[in-house]
């Protein structure tokens, strides 16, 4: 096995002199005015306009490994290159001579596993959170003895066999699913594909979380089949739910609703556009013993919000956890308007003294912008309130301090006046 990688080495690690012999790998170079300091201090990406894209660089296959040099030809580390992507290079290892093999993956997986085993009593969590766990563009969610891998970058696709071998060795999982869907793969020029890489999966997987049982369809569901990131926010909302009438919009497979029922909610209504997701939510409610207090309503969330308002419906706890309305900066303004609209339509449905939970998974919308959009919407909905909780993703979704995109999730809980 190779020695442990130097991914975590301090930024002050001695840099080999210009022209030092390396592994014979291709070399890519930052433009003279590009900021090398950010890379040395832990920023993991190089954008297309920061790299010299000569004919040799343009000839590299997507996901190829190369040594990154600064403008003075000093090595910065080992990167993976994809000239088809706006993120043209991703830092893999501070050691430009690192060997990317099963042993290299095992080092990172072992470190990630040790953290999760300290945090959680059962093996249900996000095991790898991409750059924040030292594996750029890779997401792995674990469901007991099953793992779902999302190789969202070209290099990850190219090294998938070594990754899976290390994953099975380190975690002992028996079943591995590749979920090759989503916007990120398209940006990398990768085709969509979901397939079984090891073992067998014949039915949705039961996942215990916050006192409820969720059903994750790891072969055909959205993303990896379940969203672990909201776990602490589910738990907080459940503390407000005792005896409450709960409305959970964009509910997916039960989301906040099942957690609220575990917290003693009198009733919960889950709303989602997907009939398949709502069916899994119903199965989760049945498995949890909550079926008599649980109901579903299929439809577009905005249309359902308007219909419930026209019906005069009122709930003690309303939760809105939509998909990313602002997945990138060009969509920011439209996304903020959508978040404002959600708040405007949801606020009137909250009974006097009740609670409104508003969430965003758009990394392009920072906390301040999202909070302001929510406040405007609540005001336009004729209500006022105080923020009593600001939540983020759970600790199995660590944040790389240098990369704002790794801290994408925001959850705000408003206590509304009469």
Looking at residue 24, what is its pLDDT?
A: 82
Looking at residue 23, what is its pLDDT?
A: 57
Residues 183, 323 within the same domain: no
Q: How confident is the model over 306-345, as pLDDT tens digits?
A: 999 999 999 999 999 999 999 999 999 999 999 999 999 9
Range of the domain at 406: 205-416
Q: Examine residue 16 and state whether it is found in any structural domain, yes or no.
A: no
Residues 244, 386 within the same domain: yes
Q: Are 217 and 280 in contact (CB under 8 A)?
A: yes
Looking at residue 168, what is its pLDDT?
A: 98
Q: How confident is the model over 116-173, as pLDDT tens digits?
A: 999 999 999 999 999 999 999 999 999 999 999 999 999 999 999 999 999 999 999 9
Q: Examine residue 11 and state whether it is found in any structural domain, yes or no.
A: no
Residues 84, 150 within the same domain: no
Given pLDDT bands bounded at 50, 70 and 90, which one contains residue 232?
Answer: very high
Q: Examine residue 220 and state whether it is found in any structural domain, yes or no.
A: yes
SS (H, E, C) 29-71: EECCCCCHHHHHCCCCEEEHHHECCCHHHHCCCCCEEEEEECC
Rounded to an integer, what distance in angstroms lies between the CA atom of residue 223 and that of residue 285? 21
Domain count, the chain: 3
Structure token digits, residue 246: 């709960």
Rounded to an integer, what distance in angstroms lies between the CA atom of residue 49 and that of residue 86? 8
Q: Examine residue 180 and state whether it is found in any structural domain, yes or no.
A: yes
Structural domain ending residue among the three candidates 170, 198, 226: 198
Would the pLDDT of 21 be above 60? Answer: no
Residues 346, 209 within the same domain: yes
Structural domain ending residue among the three candidates 145, 173, 198: 198
Residues 217, 335 within the same domain: yes
Residues 144, 255 within the same domain: no
Residues 224, 267 within the same domain: yes
370-403: burial string, b at 16+ Cβ within 10 Å, e else: bbebbbbbbeebebebeeebebbbbbbbbbbeeb
Residue carrying the six token digits 């969203």: 227
Looking at residue 8, what is its pLDDT?
A: 40
What share of the chain in percent tops pLDDT 90? 90
Q: Examine residue 17 and state whether it is found in any structural domain, yes or no.
A: no
Would the pLDDT of 16 be above 80? Answer: no
Looking at residue 183, what is its pLDDT?
A: 87
Strand pairing of 350-360 and 410-416?
A: antiparallel
Looking at residue 377, what is its pLDDT?
A: 98
Q: Examine residue 367 and state whether it is found in any structural domain, yes or no.
A: yes
Q: Examine residue 19 and state whether it is found in any structural domain, yes or no.
A: no
Looking at residue 9, what is its pLDDT?
A: 36
Structural domain ending residue among the three candidates 198, 213, 234: 198
Residues 106, 76 within the same domain: no
Q: Examine residue 18 and state whether it is found in any structural domain, yes or no.
A: no
Residues 71, 106 within the same domain: no
Rounded to an integer, what distance in angstroms lies between the CA atom of residue 418 and that of residue 404? 37
**Known catalytic membership, residue 374:** no
Q: What is the CATH number of the domain that holds 248?
A: 3.40.50.150
Rounded to an integer, what distance in angstroms lies between the CA atom of residue 320 and that of residue 344? 12
Residues 354, 379 within the same domain: yes
Q: What is the mean pLDDT of the chain?
A: 93
Which of 320, 359, 361, 374 is labelled catalytic? 361
Given pLDDT bands bounded at 50, 70 and 90, which one contains residue 103?
Answer: very high
Looking at residue 187, what is its pLDDT?
A: 87
The dihedral through the CA atoms of 56, 60, 66, 69 has a sign that is positive
The angle subtended at Cα 123 by Cα 121 and Cα 129, nearest 5°, is 110
Looking at residue 194, what is its pLDDT?
A: 95
Rounded to an integer, what distance in angstroms lies between the CA atom of residue 383 and that of residue 375? 9
What DSSP letter does each residue of 243-303 carry, written as one string?
T-EEEEES-TTSHHHHHHHHTT-SEEEEEES-HHHHHHHHHHHHHHT-GGGEEEEES-HHH
Three-state SS at 317: strand
Residues 186, 49 within the same domain: no
Q: Tell me what the mean pLDDT of segment 6-10 comes to.
A: 37
Three-state SS at 394: coil
Residues 65, 143 within the same domain: no
């Amino acid at each position: 096995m190779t020695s442990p990688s130097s991914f975590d080495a301090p930024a002050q690690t001695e840099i080999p002199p210009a022209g030092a012999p390396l592994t014979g790998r291709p070399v890519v170079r930052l433009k003279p005015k590009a900021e090398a300091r950010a890379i040395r201090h832990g920023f993991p990406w190089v954008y297309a306009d920061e790299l010299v894209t000569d004919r040799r660089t343009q000839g590299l296959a997507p996901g190829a490994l190369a040594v990154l040099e600064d403008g003075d030809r000093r090595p910065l580390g080992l990167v993976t290159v994809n000239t088809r992507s706006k993120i043209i290079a991703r830092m893999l290892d501070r050691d430009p001579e690192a060997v990317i093999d099963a042993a290299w993956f095992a080092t990172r997986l072992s470190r990630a596993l040790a953290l999760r085993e300290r945090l959680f009593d059962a093996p249900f969590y996000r095991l790898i959170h991409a750059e924040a766990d030292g594996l750029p563009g890779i997401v792995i969610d674990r469901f007991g003895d099953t793992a779902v891998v999302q190789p969202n970058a070209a290099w990850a696709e190219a090294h998938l066999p070594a990754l899976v071998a290390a994953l099975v060795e380190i975690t002992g999982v028996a079943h591995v699913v590749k979920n090759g869907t989503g916007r990120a793969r398209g940006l990398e020029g990768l085709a969509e594909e979901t397939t079984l890489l090891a073992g067998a999966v014949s039915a949705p997987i039961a996942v215990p979380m916050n006192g409820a049982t969720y059903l994750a369809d790891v072969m055909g569901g959205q993303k990896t089949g379940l969203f672990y990131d909201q776990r602490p926010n589910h738990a907080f909302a459940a503390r407000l739910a005792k005896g409450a009438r709960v409305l959970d919009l964009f509910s997916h497979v039960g989301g906040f609703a099942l957690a609220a029922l575990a917290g003693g909610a009198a009733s919960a209504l889950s709303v989602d556009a997907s009939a398949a997701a709502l069916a899994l939510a119903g199965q989760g409610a049945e498995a949890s013993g909550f079926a008599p207090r649980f109901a579903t309503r299929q439809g577009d969330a905005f249309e359902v919000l308007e219909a419930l308002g026209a019906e005069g419906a009122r709930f003690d706890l309303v939760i809105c956890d939509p998909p990313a309305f602002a997945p990138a900066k060009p969509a920011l303004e439209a996304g903020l308007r959508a978040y404002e609209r959600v708040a405007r339509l949801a606020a009137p449905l909250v009974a006097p003294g009740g609670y409104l939970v508003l969430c965003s998974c758009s990394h392009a919308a920072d906390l301040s912008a999202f909070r302001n959009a929510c406040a405007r919407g609540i005001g336009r909905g004729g209500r006022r309130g105080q923020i009593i909780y600001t939540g983020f993703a759970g600790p199995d979704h660590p944040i790389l301090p240098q990369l704002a995109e790794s801290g994408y999730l925001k959850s705000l809980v408003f206590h509304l006046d009469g």
